[in-house]
């Protein structure tokens, strides 16, 4: 700002850049009495009793600049400007002197009342007809403009009669001559020179007030703008008015011209002149206070950017109002426009209301009728408010308008008494902070959204990667499994092949051996022939001897039996004789009784014949008939028992021979017993006669293989009956059979023993006992002999046992009375039968195969065996049986068993075998 400002502002220092306000600043209000000002500080409207004549410092209209919220007194400054005589006046008033005389050095104006009397008035500034526009601006408006730039409201107003130069003073654009530029143009120049276009803003509204209607000169369609007052701060605003932001002087000038053109058009439309309306230019200057911001930041050197950005900017909002008032002459005087009185009143309403308000303020009146007009409402801050106000009153020199001039001067004098309380319009710009934060928030939201998206994509990517990895791992695993399976299969096939090769090789070796022996075969054959001849001869001799021996035994036996029979017969004869004797005794007794009775009868008859009644005895015939059948029955019974006795004696005899000293006799006897035992009808008798016990004893005591074979055969036959089975068991049969089997060399002996045990295996009640006594072990021990007949019996035994077990397990399930082994597992498996079972399940010999197939099915029916069967390889046999077995019933049984076992099915699934 111009350094010469001090010249006009009297001690006011520009301090916007320094950002500080000193106490001195406030006290250097040279035009105000400091003590008075201090007293008036609390009342905005009070002007005190200061006189109309004031002592003002030369060249100064500006007062002290206030910075604090409380405000500082700032009286309305008034300058008077005299227009030079115009051409018409020069002619018309040529003979008259001016009605005013100016003494600018004393800031005095002398108003000539008449030729001899003058009144003297003192103003803040007295501007002669020679005062330049520049000087007028600097004296009247510049301090106000500077205040506005500092954040105060400011008013520059021109008051005066039409044609005295109000518009000349305020509104000249100076297009032809720059020196002509008026206050408005110069003020904007200064404002634009001082503000920063980056951080500050300058905007203007341009309005006209005519007959209490406020028109927008920047938008002619907007002709009824309402005035809004903030009830709290008292600030006046025109929200409806067009507000144009000014960036440079040229556009401002164009805007002013546009406004002027609109004003002309509006006035033509309203049939009035611009002198009848008030023109108001409002310049809003909004500045952000950087100095303070910097100072604040430096105090908090460690404050973060965020904290800085959260601090609202301090803004100062100064408003400059330039008012070109309507002509102050009374309308009825000019009268040329033909308005009615009411219209005239309305036209002047605002102006007269302004006069009244100024009067009230000047007189410190309790009531200031601000609300009487729109002009006074608009200017409430300019007079008695917080604005720095400068008023220029314009007067003409002509004595013909002395009255108007006088009233203008009086208006100015009163206005000089109006005291304002200047207040800094400084506030934190929360709105722009909010905007800034909004923008920041939006940025953050966008950033967040982007990050969120990226995060989601990353998650998705990781998920996909992981899924790929998992599926790859699964694939690898499946491949590995498949490879493993194939390898296992291959190994299996290879081992099978090797075994087959081995077998083939063995066969081959066997063949070779045969070939080698072929050469000697003939010799051997010959020798064999001789041997067989010898053997047959020996056998024939042996047979002969045997025959003879048996004949002898038979003879001995018949002799013995004849002896015992004769003894028996003799005894029976004796019994019979005794009975006969007894009967004869009885008969004689009866005969005696009969004789007695006949005698008694004769006696009675004689008594009757003699005429006397007597007792009649029982009938004799009926008595005899009662006795006779009893005699006959007892004879028949004797006959039957005798026949039975004979039979009994024969069997006993045979059985007793089992214990004969002579081995041949024993053999013969055991053969006879065996033959008898083969007949089912004899079995009961043999057992009852103790034959079974004898056979078992023989099995234990004899060392003869034939006896063993035949006895075992007999036991096997007897073992078909359930009662006998129990008896065999109770008499230690299993142990005896086991020993026999262990010592036997003849396959037929083994076959008999195996057959006997196989029969016992079929008894449900004997399962545990049989196993406990080593029955299963004994059976399995016999397989090493390899004879198909033996194997068939072993297989039958195992099948029988397995069948009983499966029945028992079904009952266990049904009744839950565990009677099997502790684990519930098959005793066959427990005793190690499974490998042999698996090995022989597909035996070429069909009896063996059948029994084993059945055994496998029975074992498989009990789920607890499944695991062992799988590991033992029995599952494959079961599968094979279910598919290949030639017997349909076994095939069906195998299939049903397999499909009802969850363990087997799971195993098949695990091995990926579709069943």
Tell me the closest approach of the beta carbon of residue 167 to ligand ADP, in angstroms: 3
Residue 160 touches which of Mg ion, ligand ADP, none (CB < 5 to 8 A by kind)?
ligand ADP
Q: Which is nearer to ligand ADP, 60 or 275 (CB)?
A: 275
Contacting ligand ADP within 358-397 (CB under 6 A): 394
- The number of residues that bind Mg ion (CB under 5 A) is 2
Per-residue b or e along 371-406, where b marks 16 or more CB atoms closer than 10 Å to that residue's CB: ebbbbbbbbbbbbbbbbbbbbbbbbbbbeebbebbb
Give the integer Cα–Cα distance in Å for 323 and 158.
6
The closest residue (CB) to Mg ion is 167
Q: Output the DSSP codes for 856-869.
A: HHHHHTSGGGHHHH
Biggest alpha carbon–alpha carbon distance for the chain: 235
CB of 169 to ligand ADP, least distance (A): 7
Distance CA 112, CA 99 (A): 5
Question: Known binding site for ATP: residues?
Answer: 160-167
User: Is 165 among the residues that bind ligand ADP (CB under 6 A)?
Assistant: yes
Instruction: Establish if 717 lies at the interface with ligand ADP (CB under 6 A).
Output: no
Using the contact rule CB under 6 A, the part of the chain among 161-169, 340-348, 506-514, 607-615 near ligand ADP is 161-169
Regarding 86 and contact with ligand ADP (CB under 6 A), the answer is: yes
CA 856 to chain CA centroid, Å, is 52
Cα–Cα distance between 126 and 105 in angstroms, integer? Answer: 8
**Of 785, 736, 742, 734, the residue nearest 758 (C-alpha):** 734
Beta-strand relationship, 154-160 and 388-395: parallel
578 vs 594: CA distance, rounded Å: 24
Residue closest to 204 by CA, chosen among 131, 132, 324, 284: 284
Calpha distance 389→450 (Å, rounded): 56
The partner in contact with residue 165, picked from Mg ion, ligand ADP, none with C-beta cut-offs of 5 to 8 angstroms by kind, is ligand ADP
Q: Which of 4, 58, 84, 824: binder of ligand ADP (CB under 6 A)?
A: 84
Secondary structure class of 736 (helix, strand, coil): helix
Calculate ∠ Cα 167-169-170, nearest 5°.
Answer: 65
Query: Which residues in the 246-285 window bind ligand ADP by CB under 6 A?
Result: 275
Asked if 405 interacts with ligand ADP (CB under 6 A), we say no
Interatomic CA distance for residues 470 and 503, integer angstroms: 48
- Is 182 an interacting residue with respect to ligand ADP (CB under 6 A)? no
534 CB neighbour count, 10 Å cutoff:
10
User: Binding-site residue total for ligand ADP (CB under 6 A)?
Assistant: 14
Count of alpha carbons within 13 angstroms of residue 192, beta-carbon side: 17
Site for Mg ion in 177-196 (CB under 5 A): none
User: Which residue stretches of 363-429 are H helix?
Assistant: 374-378, 402-415
Q: Which is nearer to Mg ion, 167 or 763 (CB)?
A: 167
- Interface with ligand ADP, residue 32, by CB under 6 A: no
* Among positions 56, 65, 164, 167, the unique one binding Mg ion when judged by CB under 5 A: 167
Task: Identify which of residues 45 and 275 has a Cβ nearer to ligand ADP in the complex.
Answer: 275
162 near ligand ADP, judged by CB under 6 A: yes
Minimum Å distance from CB 174 to Mg ion? 16
Look at residue 326 and give its three-state secondary structure. Answer: coil
427, 317 Cβ separation under 8 angstroms:
yes
* The two structure tokens encoding residue 72: 């500082």
Q: Which does 86 bind (CB under 5 to 8 A by kind): Mg ion, ligand ADP, none?
A: ligand ADP
Considering the complex, state which of residue 130 and residue 578 has its C-beta at the smaller distance from ligand ADP: 130
Q: Which is nearer to Mg ion, 60 or 167 (CB)?
A: 167
Q: Which structure tokens are listed for 503?
A: 């077998």
User: At its nearest, how many Å lie between ligand ADP and the CB of residue 81?
Assistant: 7
Residue 423 beta carbon to Mg ion: minimum distance, rounded to whole angstroms: 31
State which residue, 162 or 800, has the beta carbon closest to ligand ADP.
162
Q: Which of these, 109, 128, 123, 126, lies nearest to 75 by C-alpha position?
A: 123
Indicate the DSSP class of residue 164: S
Among the listed ranges 156-164, 204-212, 231-239, 720-728, the one in contact with ligand ADP (CB under 6 A) is 156-164
Which residue's Cβ has the minimum distance to ligand ADP? 165
User: For 756-896, where are the E strands, in sequence order?
Assistant: none
Q: Which stretch binds Mg ion (CB under 5 A): 43-51, 159-167, 340-348, 837-845?
A: 159-167
Q: At closest approach, how far in Å is the CB of 263 from ligand ADP? A: 13
Q: Give whole-number Cα distances, 504 to 491, 510, 511, 552, 839, in Å.
A: 19, 10, 10, 56, 18
Q: Structure tokens of 214?
A: 């406020």
Interacting span for Mg ion (CB under 5 A) from 158-166, 264-272, 613-621, 794-802: 158-166
Closest CB to ligand ADP among residues 26, 83: 83
Q: Which residues pair with 722 in a beta bridge?
A: none
Nearer CB in complex with ligand ADP: 327/747 = 327
Q: Is 164 in the site for ligand ADP (CB under 6 A)?
A: yes
Residue 567 vs residues 185, 557, 573: alpha-carbon distances, Å = 179, 15, 10
Say how many Å lie between the first and final Cα of the chain, rounded: 106
- Binder of residue 84, out of Mg ion, ligand ADP, none (CB less than 5 to 8 A by kind): ligand ADP
Q: Which CB atom, from 96 or from 130, has the smaller least distance to ligand ADP?
A: 130
Q: What angle do CA 337, 342, 345 make, to 5 degrees?
A: 80
For residue 384, the partner it binds in ligand ADP, Mg ion, none, with Cβ less than 5 to 8 A by kind, is none
Residue 122 near residue 55, CB atoms below 8 Å: yes
Whose Cβ is closer to ligand ADP: residue 176's or residue 621's? 176
Measured from the CB atom, the residue of 166 and 319 that comes closer to Mg ion is 166
Which stretch, 161-169, 204-212, 315-323, 351-359, contacts Mg ion (CB under 5 A)?
161-169
**Interaction of residue 724 with ligand ADP, rule CB under 6 A:** no
Q: Which is nearer to ligand ADP, 64 or 104 (CB)?
A: 104
**Residue 429 dihedral angles phi and psi, to the nearest 5°:** -85, 80
Q: What is the 3-state secondary structure (H, E, C) of 781-808?
A: HHHHHCCHHHHHHHHHHHHHHHHHHHHH
Which of 106, 168, 876, 915 touches ligand ADP by CB under 6 A? 168
Which of the stretches 166-174, 409-417, 688-696, 906-914 binds Mg ion when contact is defined by CB under 5 A? 166-174
Question: Which region, judged by CB under 5 A, interacts with Mg ion, from 167-175, 581-589, 619-627, 735-743?
Answer: 167-175
Shortest Å, Cβ 381 to ligand ADP: 24
The one among 104, 163, 733, 775 contacting ligand ADP by CB under 6 A: 163
Q: Which stretch binds ligand ADP (CB under 6 A): 78-86, 108-116, 417-425, 487-495?
A: 78-86
Cβ proximity to ligand ADP: between 56 and 394 the closer is 394
Q: Which residues does 99 contact at the CB level (< 8 Å), separation at least 6? A: 111, 112, 397, 398, 399, 401, 402, 405
| Interaction of residue 160 with ligand ADP, rule CB under 6 A | yes
What residues does 390 pair with on adjacent strands? Answer: 77, 156
Instruction: For residue 425, count other CB atoms closer than 10 A to its CB.
Output: 21
Q: Report the residue number, 161 or 382, with the smaller CB distance to ligand ADP.
A: 161
As measured in angstroms, the least distance from the Cβ of 429 to ligand ADP is 39
Closest CB 277 distance from Mg ion, rounded Å? 10
Q: Name which of ligand ADP, Mg ion, none residue 164 binds, using a CB cut-off of 5 to 8 Å depending on partner kind.
A: ligand ADP
Phi and psi at 821, nearest 5°, equal -70, 170
Using the contact rule CB under 5 A, the part of the chain among 165-173, 411-419, 694-702, 722-730 near Mg ion is 165-173
**Using an 8 Å Cβ cutoff, are 118 and 352 in contact?**
no
CA–CA dist 287, 426 (Å, integer): 9
- Taking the C-alpha atoms of 824, 830, 835 and 841 in order, what is their torsion angle to the nearest 10 degrees? -50
Footprint of Mg ion (CB under 5 A): 166-167
Footprint of ligand ADP (CB under 6 A): 83-84, 86, 160, 162-168, 275, 327, 394
């Amino acid at each position: 700002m111009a350094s010469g400002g001090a010249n006009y502002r009297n001690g006011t220092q520009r301090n916007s850049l320094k950002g500080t306000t000193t106490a001195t600043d406030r006290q250097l209000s040279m035009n105000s009495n400091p003590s008075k000002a201090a007293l008036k500080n609390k009342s905005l409207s009070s002007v005190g009793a200061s006189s109309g004549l004031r002592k003002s410092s030369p060249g100064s209209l500006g007062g002290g600049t206030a910075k604090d919220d409380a405000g500082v007194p700032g009286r309305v400054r008034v300058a008077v400007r005299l227009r030079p005589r115009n051409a018409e006046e020069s002619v018309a008033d040529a003979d008259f002197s001016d009605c005013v005389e100016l003494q600018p050095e004393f800031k005095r104006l002398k108003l000539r009342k008449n030729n001899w009397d003058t009144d003297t008035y003192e103003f803040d500034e007295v501007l002669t007809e020679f005062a330049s526009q520049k000087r007028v601006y600097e004296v009247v408006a510049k301090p106000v403009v500077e205040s506005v730039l500092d954040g105060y409201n400011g008013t520059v107003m021109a008051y005066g009669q039409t044609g005295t130069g109000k518009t000349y003073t305020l509104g000249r654009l100076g297009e032809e001559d720059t020196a002509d530029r008026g206050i408005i143009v110069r003020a904007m120049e200064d404002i634009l020179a001082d503000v920063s276009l980056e951080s500050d803003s300058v905007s203007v509204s341009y309005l006209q007030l005519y007959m209490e209607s406020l028109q927008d000169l920047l938008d002619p369609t907007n002709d009824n703008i309402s005035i809004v007052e903030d009830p709290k701060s008292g600030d006046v605003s025109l929200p409806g008015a067009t507000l144009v932001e000014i960036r440079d002087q040229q556009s401002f000038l164009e805007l002013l011209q546009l406004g002027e053109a609109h004003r002309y058009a509006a006035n033509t439309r309203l049939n009035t002149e611009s002198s009848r309306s008030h023109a108001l230019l409002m310049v809003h200057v909004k500045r952000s206070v950087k100095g303070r911001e910097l100072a604040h930041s430096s105090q908090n050197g460690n404050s973060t950017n965020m904290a800085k950005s959260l601090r609202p900017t301090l803004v100062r909002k100064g408003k400059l109002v330039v008012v070109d008032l309507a002509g102050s002459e009374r309308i009825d005087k000019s009268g040329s426009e033909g308005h009615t009185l009411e219209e005239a009143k309305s036209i002047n309403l605002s102006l007269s209301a302004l006069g009244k308000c100024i009067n009230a303020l000047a007189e410190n009146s309790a009531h200031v009728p601000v609300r009487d007009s729109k002009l006074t409402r608009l200017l409430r801050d300019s007079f008695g408010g917080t604005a720095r106000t400068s008023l220029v009153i314009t007067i003409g020199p002509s004595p013909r308008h002395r009255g108007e001039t006088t009233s203008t001067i009086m208006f100015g004098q009163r206005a000089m008494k109006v005291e304002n309380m200047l207040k800094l319009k400084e506030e934190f710009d929360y709105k722009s902070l909010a905007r800034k934060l909004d923008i920041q928030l939006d940025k953050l939201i966008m950033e967040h959204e982007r990050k969120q998206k990226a995060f989601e994509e990353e998650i998705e990517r990781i998920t996909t990667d992981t899924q790929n990895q998992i599926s790859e791992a699964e694939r690898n695993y499946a491949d590995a499994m498949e490879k493993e399976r194939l390898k296992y299969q291959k190994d299996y096939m290879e081992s099978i092949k090797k075994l087959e090769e081995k077998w083939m090789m063995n066969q081959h070796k066997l063949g070779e051996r045969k070939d080698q022996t072929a050469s000697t075969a003939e010799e051997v054959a010959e020798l064999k022939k001789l041997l067989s001849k010898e053997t047959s001869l020996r056998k024939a001799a042996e047979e002969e001897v045997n025959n003879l021996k048996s004949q002898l035994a038979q003879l001995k036996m018949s002799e013995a039996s004849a002896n015992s029979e004769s003894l028996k017969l003799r005894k029976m004869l004796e019994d019979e004789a005794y009975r006969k004797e007894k009967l004869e005794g009885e008969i004689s007794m009866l005969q005696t009784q009969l004789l007695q009775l006949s005698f008694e009868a004769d006696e009675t008859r004689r008594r009757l014949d003699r005429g006397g009644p007597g007792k009649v005895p029982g009938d004799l015939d009926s008595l005899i008939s009662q006795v006779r059948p009893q005699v006959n029955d007892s004879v028949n019974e004797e006959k039957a028992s005798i026949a039975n006795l004979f039979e009994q004696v024969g069997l006993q005899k045979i059985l007793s021979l089992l214990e004969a000293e002579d081995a041949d006799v024993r053999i013969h006897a055991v053969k006879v017993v065996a033959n008898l035992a083969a007949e089912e009808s004899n079995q009961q008798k043999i057992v009852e006669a103790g034959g079974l016990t004898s056979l078992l004893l023989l099995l234990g005591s004899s060392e003869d293989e034939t006896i063993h074979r035949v006895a075992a055969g007999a036991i096997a036959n007897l073992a078909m009956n359930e009662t006998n089975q129990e008896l065999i068991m109770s008499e230690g049969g299993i142990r005896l059979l086991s020993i026999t089997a262990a010592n036997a060399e003849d396959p037929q002996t083994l076959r008999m023993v195996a057959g006997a045990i196989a029969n016992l295996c079929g008894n449900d009640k004997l399962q545990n006992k049989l196993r406990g006594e080593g029955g299963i072990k004994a059976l399995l021990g016999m397989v090493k002999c390899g004879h198909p007949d033996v194997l068939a019996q072993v297989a039958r035994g195992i099948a029988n046992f397995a069948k009983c077990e499966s029945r028992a397990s079904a009952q266990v399930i049904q009744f839950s009375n565990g009677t099997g082994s502790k684990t519930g597992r098959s005793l066959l498996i427990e005793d190690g039968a499974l490998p042999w079972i698996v090995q022989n399940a597909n035996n070429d010999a069909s009896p063996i195969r059948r029994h084993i197939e059945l055994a496998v099915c029975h074992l498989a029916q009990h789920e607890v065996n499944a695991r062992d069967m799988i590991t033992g390889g029995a599952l494959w046999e079961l599968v094979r049986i279910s598919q290949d077995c030639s017997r349909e019933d076994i095939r069906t049984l195998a299939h049903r068993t397999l499909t009802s076992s969850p363990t087997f099915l799971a195993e098949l699934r695990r091995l990926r075998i579709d069943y």
